[in-house]
């Protein structure tokens, strides 16, 4: 199911456990049932799954003011609206806030999406952040060593101080996790509201000369390397 782009592997397991998946009309509730996608008919909650479609991997420089969910009750612009010539149904790997700019990967490869977002596989994400005020050495140490947030202590982070004045500081922050609004919450917790946030790196991928709003497909060697880095293949 993950390979056919219907959902992530984790969610596929939940659907199976809930008895929503049928193979040739029979409900299955156990993991690991082998199917032949060309011969067997599989449906999820009555909806037929079509055979695997071509895998597409898109790297976008997300602009501000766009959501990374697939529909928005408030009617705001959706990230896939920007991908005019991509025919496949692809979805963002992880999320970036409405007010965050930068590197976003989108794909219909559910398995890769699962591995890239799972904390176990520890893919680094690097952000450029402008924050209010003068960030002290103590605040930097706290950011690096772990900040206690409502959903627990953050893991070790790499934090580079790029610039600081009494009014504003610029930081490069690398985290391994991908919790909701994590960088904003970490900075707020040490007393500095984020005024601008951009993801500049995901694993080895960088934006390079991709302008805001522009996108490109990943090259084969980049897909291979990503899979190796998130322990999907050797």
Active site residues: 97
For ligand URA, which is the closer residue by CB, 20 or 190? 190
Contact call for residues 227 and 107 (beta carbons, < 8 A): no
What number of other Cβ atoms are within 10 A of residue 69's Cβ? 13
For ligand URA, which is the closer residue by CB, 90 or 96? 96
Distance from C-alpha of 144 to C-alpha of 159, rounded to nearest angstrom: 6
Task: Give yes or no for residue 97 binding ligand URA (CB under 6 A).
Answer: yes
CB of 133 to ligand URA, least distance (A): 17
Residues of this chain, 36-95, that bind ligand URA according to CB under 6 A: none
CB of 205 to ligand URA, least distance (A): 15
In the numeric block, the tokens 């003011």 are attached to: 65
Cα-Cα-Cα-Cα torsion 39, 90, 225, 114, nearest 10 degrees, comes to: -80
CB of 38 to ligand URA, least distance (A): 40
Residue 232 CB-density burial (10 A; 0-12 exposed, 13-18 middle, 19+ buried): middle
CB of 108 to ligand URA, least distance (A): 22
Among 49, 56, 96, 226, binds ligand URA (CB under 6 A): 96
Contact call for residues 112 and 171 (beta carbons, < 8 A): no
For ligand URA, which is the closer residue by CB, 37 or 146? 146
How many chain residues touch ligand URA (CB under 6 A)? 8
For ligand URA, which is the closer residue by CB, 56 or 129? 129
Among 49, 113, 197, 226, binds ligand URA (CB under 6 A): 197
For ligand URA, which is the closer residue by CB, 80 or 154? 154
Q: Among the candidate windows 14-22, 143-151, 153-161, 179-187, which touches ligand URA by CB under 6 A?
A: 179-187
Per-position DSSP letters for 97-155, written without gaps between them? -TTEEEEEEEES-HHHHHHHH-GGG---EEEEEEEES---HHHHHHHHH--EETTEEPP
Distance from C-alpha of 160 to C-alpha of 128, rounded to nearest angstrom: 10
Among 90, 183, 202, 207, binds ligand URA (CB under 6 A): 183
218: phi then psi, degrees, rounded to nearest 5: -70, 150
Indicate if the alpha-carbon torsion angle 140, 174, 61, 210 is positive or negative: positive
CB of 20 to ligand URA, least distance (A): 31
Residues of this chain, 103-162, that bind ligand URA according to CB under 6 A: none
How far lies 155's CA from each of 107, 115, 188, in Å? 27, 18, 16
* Residues engaged in binding ligand URA (CB under 6 A): 96-97, 100, 181-184, 197
């Amino acid at each position: 199911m993950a390979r056919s782009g219907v959902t992530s592997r984790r969610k596929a397991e939940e659907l199976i456990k809930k008895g929503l998946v049928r193979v040739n009309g029979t409900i299955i509730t156990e993991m690991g049932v082998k199917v032949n996608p060309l011969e067997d008919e599989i449906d999820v909650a009555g909806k037929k799954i079509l055979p695997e479609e071509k895998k597409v991997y898109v790297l976008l420089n997300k602009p501000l003011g766009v959501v990374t969910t697939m529909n928005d009750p408030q009617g705001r612009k959706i990230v896939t609206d920007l991908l005019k010539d991509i025919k496949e149904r692809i979805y963002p790997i992880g999320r970036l806030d409405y007010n965050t700019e930068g590197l976003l990967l989108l794909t219909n490869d559910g398995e890769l999406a699962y591995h890239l977002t799972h904390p176990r596989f520890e893919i680094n994400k690097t952000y450029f952040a402008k924050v209010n005020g003068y960030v002290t050495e103590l605040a930097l140490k706290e950011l690096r060593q772990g900040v206690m947030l409502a959903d627990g202590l953050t893991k070790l982070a790499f934090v580079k101080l790029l610039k600081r004045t009494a009014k504003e500081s610029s930081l490069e922050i690398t985290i391994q996790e991908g919790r909701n609004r994590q960088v904003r919450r970490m900075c707020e917790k040490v007393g500095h509201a984020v005024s601008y946030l951009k993801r500049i790196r995901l694993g080895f991928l960088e934006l390079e000369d991709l302008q805001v709003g522009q996108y490109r497909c990943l090259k084969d060697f980049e897909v291979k390397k990503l899979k190796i880095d998130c322990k999907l293949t050797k």
